[in-house]
Structure 1
Amino acid sequence: MKTATLYNLYQQHFLVDTDTRNIRKNTIFFALKGDNFNGNTFAEQALKLGASYAVVDEKEFQTNDRILLVTNVLKALQELANFHRKQLHIPIIGLTGSNGKTTTKELIHVVLSKKLNTVATKGNLNNHIGVPLTLLSMTDKTELGIVEMGANHQKEIEFLCTICEPDFGYVTNFGKAHLEGFGGIEGVIKGKSELYTFLKANQKTTFVNADDAIQVKKTKGVKAVSFTTEAIKFLEVNPFVKLSYGNTTIQSNLIGKYNFTNIAAAIAMGTYFKISETAIKEAIESYVPANNRSQILTTKHNTIILDAYNANPSSMQVALENFDTLKAPSKVVILGDMFELGKESVHEHQVIVDVATAFNFDEIYFVGENFNIAKTNKPQFKTYQAFEDFLKKNPLKNSSILIKGSRGMRLERILEFIG
């Protein structure tokens, strides 16, 4: 089936789904495949649940005229998304980086939504499936799109750019994330800079943190809109970031000085798209992080900084540095393993152990197989369950507690035992 023909069907309702557990009425169901499932087998079920059409790539499942056969379902989804992007005729901001992508994306979204009908990536649907779904969630009423792009290998950002064709770009930073797939920090820089390569080749524009020497170097020859700490000034963090620009002071709900740059980027884009200072202030001050990202939770016995959505050596270190600056009578640190570090894993976990123990925290606990083999005199727990069992017998009270680890560690489970 030709993309243009499929697009005519999509235009009837502008709805696309890939999971029958969340199917919507009148949607087009794309029967994607995974390592442990074959979406083709759910095509008929999708129609029964309300889908208008189902797209499959195995002929035996094309059992009626509302089940459409293509050569490859994933490729059909990606081509449909790109075809739709070309019809939208709206500016799209492409966003990537090692740390802070989702928070920055959400900040940009709340700021630009003050003036424009803006659609942004939901959650972290930022891969070869999530990017097409984000584009296909935009309609003729959308005035601007924000597409988060994630990657853990070379050429992924390059490919995602060919789907979403961004008019603007922003790289939050280059950090020690996905070192295994990228092949080290230089590989990270090269991989994330594929966004800059696309923007330069297509004479598009990037936003640049002019205080970041690597970003400045990598954007040479690219049309750029720069922002600096001279124009957007950091004031304090206690525990939330406070900053100023123009005649405006902004008190955010984001902890950690590392979030200052994320806020500054949103301000720079708001200014570029002519959002008023008052509206930018209102937007940023209204934003409250969720989904285990730098959340501050006040319980009966403790104050908790929950930053358990993701972790890598770069984000782990700045989280520890920030926690050290906070004023609290008792500070407890709970760190879980960092994943996808490859051959650097042993070294990077030891570095974080050394950094954490160098601070004067009252208690430090290391959780996971990688932290368990590091050298330290602090308590180590090979499994989450072992740490949970310890907490049940040794409850934490009257403390400020930092919880940080990779998503796979699911350290938010600890909350039940440290209330």
Structure 2
Amino acid sequence: MSLLWTREELEIATGGTFLGNTSVSVTGISIDTRTLAPGDLFIALKGDNSDGHTHIATALEKGAAAVLAHSAEGITDPRILLVPDTMRGLQKLAQAARARFKGKVVAITGSVGKTTTKEMLRLCLAPSGLTHAAEASYNNHWGVPLTLARLPREAAFCISEIGMNHPGEILPLAKMVQPDVAVITTIGSAHLGHMGSLDAIAEEKSSIITALPKGGIAIVPDDAHGRQFFTAAGKKTQAILWPCGANPQSTAHLAHLQTGSDGSRFDVSIQGKTFNVHLPAPGTHLARNAVAALAACAALGADVAKAAAALADFRPGKGRGALIQVAGGTITLLDESYNASAASIRAALDVLRHIPATRRIAVLGDMRELGEFSISEHQALAAPAASAADLVFCCGSYMKTLFDALPPSKQGAWAESAALLAPHVCAALRKGDAVLVKGSLGSRMRDIIAALNALPAVECA
């Protein structure tokens, strides 16, 4: 692995002081000793429920090149770099990494599709140069600076994912990232309970545009709620907006979408040039994510033709739309268990509708962080669920409102939790069924996935 940070660079960047005079060569950064590799800088972050300082000894035993800490009681190892506050130390490290970086940076936000678009863009940019991207969904107050602190100085591209739960969270992170290109995937009702309205969500997401330099490019959805906020943000910073979606008048748009058992095939036009795409995953929402990724490539000056070809290797992440054969190959599972919002559930139901199957079954768990809108947001999904699925199973108190609104012929079963619902789902399955599993992370829909993965071959109900 290449050298990420030297001793001198760490001290200058963080303003900290090592306990002793020792040679330090950092090749990675870790905040979790369970995944720490020799050569990593271990950052002892202190959170509400854990304190990395209790794991300093373990990090040193596992070969950490250095430890960033704000307390080292009883430990005199010269590899410890003391700072007043480790979170602030991480942020300073991120700022130093961004300042020395000579490549191009893209930042991605949106109500849904951030991580999927990031992974598509990672694939798309790879043929044009070394690409560094956020791990998993590292998009919050510690995930964003961690992504930057891990940024190799020799990379050509950096992709940062930026999320939010409350007002005012995006702009500070976007200013840290200093993107050359910004992408907004879509505007939806995720976190509606904290934000209060779709307008507030659109305005918060649009703040990423104000972190662009003059002439920077923002890839924005052409059909999203609150597009006036994109326009206002663009004017504020003199950024250039590239509308993106299915509208033929947009700067980047898809056309001739065809979905089959091997995924989707479509054309993408960007500023008058057309590229053919095969995406081995079905769904209009995934095709739109691909258009946004290719538009970002064009904005960054990457090779778009090679990027489009690279999408043939895309596979949805775990819990994010992967199609899996379970029960000895007799059942098709659409695993969307990672998280859920109204928009993403509608998109997943649309994918379910197009999966070849004897019956289509939807298993849905509560959506979270909707506040006073929880009941109405869940009830509004009853019609699309009944239209896409032959049978619907639900868990959670809010999904009970959706379940009760279904026609009796569509009602599978309801239970308070995913664990209690799983046996009902498994007992109802037949050979040839396709099953969608989706819900917010807190709904623990992975309990349903585990039960389905453990099923023997299914012949009949």
Match of 1:289 in 2: 316
Would you say the 8 A contact 1:209–1:216 is kept in 2? no
Q: Aligned residue for 1:415?
A: 452
The 10-residue stretch of structure 1 (85-94 or 36-45) with the greater mean CA deviation from structure 2: 36-45
Query: CA distance change for structure 1 residues 177 and 212 in 2, over 3 Å: closer, same or farther?
Result: closer
Task: Give the secondary structure class of the aligned counterpart of 2:208.
Answer: helix
Is this contact kept in 2: 1:79–1:163, CA < 8 A?
no
Q: Distance in 2 between matches of 1:20 and 1:406?
A: 28
In structure 1, give the amino acid aligned to 2:298: T
1:323-402 to structure 2, matched below 5 A, reads 323-357=352-386, 359=387, 361-374=389-402, 375-376=404-405, 377=408, 378=411, 379-402=413-436
Aligned to 2:348: 319
Partner of 1:122: 135
The 8 Å contact of residues 335 and 436 in structure 2, kept in 1 or not, is answered as: yes
- Identify which of 77, 88, 91 aligns with 1:78: 91
Residue 393 and residue 304 in structure 1: after superposition, are their counterparts in 2 closer, same or farther (change >3 A)? Answer: closer
**In structure 2, the residue corresponding to 1:261 is in which secondary structure?**
helix
Opposite residue 398 of structure 1, the aligned amino acid is G
Unmatched tracts of structure 2, length 5 or more? 1-10
TM-aligned CA deviation for residue 272 of structure 1? 3.5
- Corresponding residue of 2:297: 270
Specify the alignment match of 1:223 in structure 2.
Answer: 240
2:370 partner amino acid: L
Q: Pick the aligned partner of 2:437 from 389, 400, 403.
A: 403
The alignment partner of 2:381 has SS state of helix
SS, match of residue 249 in structure 1: strand
Deviation (angstroms), 1:33: 1.2
CA 67–21 in structure 1, closer or farther in 2 if over 3 Å, else same = same
- Residue 236 of structure 1 pairs with residue 253 of structure 2: no
Structure 2 counterpart SS, 1:75: helix
> Is contact 2:280–2:314 with CA below 8 Å preserved after alignment?
yes
The answer on whether the counterparts of 2:14 and 2:83 sit within 8 Å (CA) in structure 1 is: no
CA offset digits 1:211-249 (Å, max 9, x no partner): 547446513422234445435324222352221144543
Q: Distance in 1 between matches of 2:389 and 2:72?
A: 62
Range 14-23 or range 321-330, more displaced: 321-330
Matches within 5 A, 1:155-304: 155-199=168-212, 204-212=216-224, 214-215=226-227, 218-219=230-231, 220-221=234-235, 222-227=239-244, 229=246, 230=248, 232-238=254-260, 240-245=263-268, 246=273, 248-276=275-303, 278-299=305-326, 300-304=329-333
Which digits, 9 at most, give the CA deviation of each residue in 1:173-200, with x for residues without a partner?
Answer: 1111112222332221122111012226
Tell me the equivalent position of 2:3. Answer: none
* 3-state SS of 1:126 partner: coil
Cα distance 1:355–1:235, how it changes in 2: closer, same or farther (>3 A)?
closer
Match of 1:309 in 2: 338
Quickly say closer, same or farther: Cα 1:392–1:108, change in 2 above 3 A. Answer: closer
Contact 1:53 1:67 (C-alpha < 8 Å) held by counterparts: yes
Q: Could you list the per-position Cα deviations for residues 321-369 of structure 1 after superposition, in whole angstroms to 9, with x for gaps in the alignment?
A: 3433455331111111111112211221122234323x16321111223
Match of 2:4 in 1: none
Q: Tell me the secondary structure at the aligned position of residue 387 of structure 1.
A: helix
The residue identity in structure 2 corresponding to 1:53 is A
Aligned match of 2:111: 98
**In the alignment, does 2:33 pair up with 1:20?**
yes
1:75 Cα deviation from its structure 2 partner: 1.2
Q: Quote the Cα distance in structure 1 between the aligned partners of 2:340 and 2:418.
A: 16
Q: Distance in 2 between matches of 1:403 and 1:268?
A: 31
After TM superposition, give the deviation of residue 2 of structure 1 in Å. Answer: 5.7
- For residue 89 of structure 1, give the secondary structure of its aligned residue in structure 2: coil
Q: 1:188 to 1:7 in 2, by over 3 A?
A: farther
Partner SS state of residue 139, structure 2: coil
Identical-pair percentage? 27
Residue type at the aligned position of 1:380: W
**Greater Cα shift, 144-153 or 276-285:** 276-285
Shift of 1:62: 5.6
Q: Does 1:145 align with 2:179?
A: no
Distance 2:24 2:227 in 1: 40
- Paired amino acid for 1:296: L
SS in structure 2 of the partner of residue 254 of structure 1? coil
In 2: Cα distance, 1:185 partner to 1:275 partner: 34
2:212 alignment partner AA:
L
Count of matched residue pairs: 417
For residue 10 of structure 1, report the CA deviation from its aligned partner.
11
Secondary structure at the residue paired with 1:111?
helix
User: Residue 332 of structure 1 aligns to which amino acid in structure 2?
Assistant: I
Which one-letter code corresponds to 2:359 in the other structure? S
SS at match of 1:355: helix
Q: Write the letter of the residue equivalent to 1:232.
A: L
Report the TM-score when normalising by structure 2: 0.83
Written as runs of structure 1 = structure 2, the 5 A alignment for 1:43-82 is 43-58=56-71, 60=73, 63-82=76-95
- 1: CA distance, partners of 2:337 / 2:318: 9
The counterpart of 1:31, out of the listed 44, 47, 51, is: 44
Distance 2:219 2:388 in 1: 38
Match of 2:7 in 1: none
Larger deviation: 367-376 or 122-131? 367-376
CA shift for structure 1 position 116: 1.2
Secondary structure of 1:296 counterpart: strand
TM-superposed deviation, 1:117: 0.9
Q: Is the 8 A contact 1:43 1:55 kept in 2?
A: no
* Aligned-residue offset at 1:136: 1.9
Q: Which letter does structure 2 place at the counterpart of 1:236?
A: Q
- C-alpha distance in 2 between matches for 1:355 and 1:109: 33
| TM-score normalised over the length of structure 1 | 0.91
Q: 1:293 to 1:304 in 2, by over 3 A?
A: same
